[in-house]
Structure 1
Amino acid sequence: MREEYQSTTFNFRRLIKIGAIAIITLVVVWLQPITYENIDAGNVGIKINLYGTDRGVDNITIVTGRVWYNTWTTKIVEFPTYTQSVDYDPFVITTRDAAEFNVDPKLNYHVNPAMVPQIYRQYRKPLSEIEQQFMRNTIYDAYRIVANSFSSDSVMSNREQFENRIQTMLAKNLAKDGFVYDQLTSAITPPASLRQMIDEKNASIQARLKAENEAKQARAEAEVMKAKADGEATAMLVRARAEAEANRLRQQSLTPLLVQMRLIEKWNGQLPTYGTIPALFKDLSKEK
């Protein structure tokens, strides 16, 4: 009986020991700091030591692919390097003559992989926060500085030059901090009063162009009519000259001998009287 009791006690203690070991093993596995991170294509990761003599942002390593690390002593921060598109809220800028323009910008950019450690050292924030703070301020400053060198009229009449200067300044300022400028889309809206002036100016230009075109068309039609009239007058003159020349030739052809022959042809055998002679000459003149 005593032996059975001792055997039962031993088995019970053994089960408790096994259970304790299992629980401790599970806790250790659950709490162990070793894990991994997959750095996908189009992204760059940096591994930061949190403890030791090399701790902090001064010891940052760029990593890619699958990275094993100790979560107690190491931190992995991932930055996308593919093109990002950010649509910012509109803001107001002021030109040299104090006109206010609304700007609704949209920026496309990507991160320079080689400068990811510098970006983290400088900002210590996720990329989404950097976009809405540093990058937004950089865009606003570029618009503000360039707008101060333009008048309200010149902004609209030199829109391409205005935006080129903004893009040049923006690309330069972003590149210093590791961000590569790709494209900036600007929706610039002028004040209502300036918009009305522009519309009236455009309408005036259109009216002037229309009047000039109508005047050119009228001159062209007048030239056509003049050319036609000149042609008709020339033709009439040619015909008149031809007819006059024909009459002259006919007059020259009426020699005295020819007149006598024609009178003989017209004679009816009777002696002419005073009244019949003019009639004979009249008949001769009809033959010319």
Structure 2
Amino acid sequence: MSNAKNRPSGRRIGTIAIALVIAVIGLVLLTASWKTIPPGYVGIAFNKANNNVTTAIDPGWTLINPFTTAIQQYPVTIQTYIMVQSDNEGQTAGDDSIKIQSSEAQQLNLDVAVQYRVKKEEAAVLYTDWGGQSLDVIELQVVRQQTRSILTTLAGRYSWEDISGEKRAELADKVKEQLTTEFERRHLILEDFVIREVHLPDNLKQALENKITAQQAAERQKYELEQAQIKAEQDKVEAQGRAEAQRATAKGDADSILIRAEAQADANRLLAESVTEVLIRYQMALRWDGKLPVFNGGGATPLVDVSELIDSTQPISR
């Protein structure tokens, strides 16, 4: 009797077990079918049955057939790939800077950074061209290799002083121009390329320091010469000012003397015009005391002829 009671219970357990298995399988299938494309990414659905790309999926939830469909995700936001000498940066451990040779065959190491992004509208073509490879593989083959190759070729046209100095930005612009074309062909967009730092060997560092010291000395001498020239100009202006003042004073004195001389000449002229013989005789008469001058020696002639004065004064009597 007890066996009969246990049989229904065994069936229920079997049913429950089957239901659990079905539920687990359903959950696994749901998990495999339910995909989430995160923001900043595009999903590429690939049908493994007919070996074709079916669609590009925007960020969000999507359901797929896990048996026939696979999804590859590509970021469409800006990515940065760094190649530097430092161990603490960059995608590769150790010294990953780009070694180049200048036009003088001098070796330099350049730290660079490349910013790029995947063309969202060409993500499906990118997937097809690269056989569904991840972005890491594409980054290694395109971003890294093309950057190193182009930079090495172009840097050989510049001297080491130009690369480390005033033409560093020009070199970066030329590299950026060629990278833009290469990335465009491979469904990528180059956002920016920069040469972050130039590492020189010790001998070139010393040569550069010597040149900078010489340039600073030359600049200092040029500054001192300019200051001396400015001082000379100031002294010249001051001397010209003093000379102008002295000339003005001398002219004033000369004008004053001339004016006085002209006034004196005018006075003398007027005096000369006013002095007549009659006036002279009149003045002599006023000053004559009535005595005739005394002369020594016979036949002396008086110094002053007063005969006319005497005649003219005869009517006057006391």
**TM-score by shorter chain over 0.5:** yes
**Amino acid corresponding to residue 165 of structure 1 in structure 2:** K
Matches of 1:237 and 1:63, distance apart in 2 = 95
Of residues 129, 148, 152, the one that matches 2:160 is 152
**Amino acid corresponding to residue 152 of structure 2 in structure 1:** R
Identity of aligned residues (%): 23
Q: CA 1:240/1:150 → structure 2, altered by over 3 Å: closer, same or farther?
A: closer
Q: How many residues of Structure 1 are paired with residues of Structure 2 in the alignment? A: 254
**Amino acid corresponding to residue 191 of structure 1 in structure 2:** P
Matches of 2:226 and 2:13, distance apart in 1 = 110
Q: Within the alignment, does 1:90 sit opposite 2:97 as a pair?
A: yes
Q: Within the alignment, does 1:191 sit opposite 2:188 as a pair?
A: no
Partner of 1:264: none
Partner deviation per Cα, 1:125-147 (whole Å, 9 max, x = no partner): 32234323432111101211111
Select between 116-125 and 100-109 the one with higher mean Cα deviation.
116-125
Q: Which has the higher contact order (CA 8 A, sep 6+)?
A: 1
Q: CA 1:223/1:23 → structure 2, altered by over 3 Å: closer, same or farther?
A: closer
Of residues 47, 52, 62, the one that matches 2:56 is 62
Of residues 29, 32, 36, the one that matches 1:32 is 29
Residues 35 and 68 of structure 1 are in contact (CA less than 8 Å); yes or no, is this contact kept in structure 2? Answer: yes
Matches of 1:74 and 1:106, distance apart in 2 = 36
Q: CA deviation at 1:219?
A: 2.5
Q: CA 1:71/1:238 → structure 2, altered by over 3 Å: closer, same or farther?
A: closer
Matches of 2:43 and 2:207, distance apart in 1 = 54
Q: TM-score, normalised by structure 2?
A: 0.69
Residues 118 and 177 of structure 1 are in contact (CA less than 8 Å); yes or no, is this contact kept in structure 2? Answer: no
Q: Which runs of 5+ in 2 are unaligned?
A: 84-95, 276-286, 288-318
SS in 2 for 1:157: coil
Partner deviation per Cα, 1:113-158 (whole Å, 9 max, x = no partner): 1222232233333223432343211110121111122222332332
Q: CA deviation at 1:241?
A: 4.4
Partner of 1:230: 240
SS in 2 for 1:243: helix
Matches of 2:6 and 2:225, distance apart in 1 = 121
Q: CA deviation at 1:210?
A: 2.8
Residues 172 and 194 of structure 2 are in contact (CA less than 8 Å); yes or no, is this contact kept in structure 1? Answer: no
Matches within 5 A, 1:268-279: none
Q: Within the alignment, does 1:22 sit opposite 2:35 as a pair?
A: no
Partner deviation per Cα, 1:83-140 (whole Å, 9 max, x = no partner): 1122233221112221112111122211101222232233333223432343211110
Partner of 2:140: 132
Q: Within the alignment, does 1:49 sit opposite 2:47 as a pair?
A: yes
Matches of 1:218 and 1:13, distance apart in 2 = 114
Of residues 226, 243, 246, the one that matches 1:216 is 226
Matches of 1:5 and 1:197, distance apart in 2 = 103
Q: CA deviation at 1:70?
A: 2.1
What is the aligned-residue RMSD (CA, Å)?
3.0
Q: TM-score, normalised by structure 1?
A: 0.75
Residues 97 and 152 of structure 1 are in contact (CA less than 8 Å); yes or no, is this contact kept in structure 2? Answer: yes
